[in-house]
Amino acid sequence: MTATLLDGKALAARVRAQARETLAELGVRAGLAVVLVGDDPASRVYVRNKVRACEETGICSELHAFPADAGENEVLERVLALNRDARIHGILVQLPLPAGIDSERVLAAVSPHKDVDGFHVENLGALVAGRAKFVPCTPAGVLRLLQHGNVRIAGRHAVVIGRSTIVGKPAALLLLQRDATVTICHSKTPDLAAHARQADILVAAVGRAKLVTADMVKPGACVIDVGMNRLPDGSLAGDVDFASVKEVAGWITPVPGGVGPMTVAMLMENTVAAARESG
């Protein structure tokens, strides 16, 4: 059996095109500010992709780059200034921030109305209550991929591996809202494989290359790979052993070209929604 590929690259292009159309219909200008501190190479790549997607979508982007030794107050002041700036509808603080900066403090400073990443506790709380204004982009992209692929969620057993605030937990909440029965596994879960094998929908968001192997997947299950791991040879690998799992699964996302481009596309959608709200 060979799984159906859930093509995030193609779907992301459609989402961006739709966001561009919505902007044109609204006749508004949308602005996204990206705050980058330090010189983490992966962060630089992510930021470049986001800025490029803004150009394609017709969103005006601004990069606010700080050196790695920037002070927390300096970054906080910039975020507060961006909150007041009427040209800016979305503010994104690229994580991780350098060790000397309290990420929670910086994220809490972003206005919840401009929090297009959905990381502010007010938006995360609203997500728990089922009425989020901005849903974190990666889990939102996971849900969009499932919906677009006509993968049934209601009544199915979803197993999410990983419990981070930005991926695992919100992904589990979104699946629960759509009536899945949800199990969350993490680093302290004994016998991960036994849980994974129960999944109709398996979401891997761990950060360990090829952690999910074919023997951990129920035949016909939908496997969503959020992981992005840089291998010693420089290539990118997901958390799922794609070559073997695709022979067992019913649906699968590739890495690259799966969840990654969807994350950026959902950021565009959130930014357009923020611009619409303000206008």
> Does residue 18 have an active-site annotation?
no
Cα 228 to Cα 241: distance, rounded to the nearest angstrom? 12
Is residue 151 close enough to count as binding ligand NAD by CB under 6 A?
A: no
- Residue of the chain from 18, 183, 229, 278 that contacts ligand NAD (CB under 6 A): 229
Identify any residues that bridge with 45 across adjacent strands, giving them in sequence order: none
Residue 22's SS3 state is: helix
For residues 91 to 130, the per-residue mask of contacts with ligand NAD, x marking binding by CB under 6 A and - elsewhere, is: ----------------------------------------
Cβ-count burial 157-191 (b if 16+ within 10 Å, e if not)? bbbbbbbbebbbbbbbbbbbebebebbbbeeeeee
Instruction: Give me the catalytic one of 117, 225, 239, 241.
Output: 117
Is residue 52 close enough to count as binding ligand NAD by CB under 6 A?
A: no
Cα 278 to Cα 272: distance, rounded to the nearest angstrom? 10
- Sign of the torsion angle spanned by Cα atoms 252, 256, 262, 263: positive
Is residue 270 close enough to count as binding ligand NAD by CB under 6 A?
A: no
**What are the strands, taking DSSP E only, across 122-218?**
157-161, 181-185, 201-204
Kindly indicate which of the ranges 59-67, 73-81, 99-107, 255-263 contains the residues binding ligand NAD, using the contact rule CB under 6 A. Answer: 255-263
Is residue 167 close enough to count as binding ligand NAD by CB under 6 A?
A: yes
> Does residue 147 have an active-site annotation?
no
**What are the strands, taking DSSP E only, across 13-89?**
31-37, 60-66
Cα 226 to Cα 40: distance, rounded to the nearest angstrom? 20
Least distance from ligand NAD to the Cβ atom of residue 126, Å: 20
Is residue 236 close enough to count as binding ligand NAD by CB under 6 A?
A: no
Cα 48 to Cα 196: distance, rounded to the nearest angstrom? 34
- Residue of the chain from 31, 38, 162, 170 that contacts ligand NAD (CB under 6 A): 162
Least distance from ligand NAD to the Cβ atom of residue 115, Å: 16
CB closer to ligand NAD out of 28 and 192: 192
Cα 87 to Cα 89: distance, rounded to the nearest angstrom? 7
Is residue 267 close enough to count as binding ligand NAD by CB under 6 A?
A: no
Least distance from ligand NAD to the Cβ atom of residue 171, Å: 9
> Does residue 94 have an active-site annotation?
yes
Q: Which residues carry out catalysis? A: 50, 94, 117
**Residues near ligand NAD, by CB under 6 A:** 138, 161-164, 166-168, 185-187, 189, 192, 205-208, 226-229, 259-260, 263
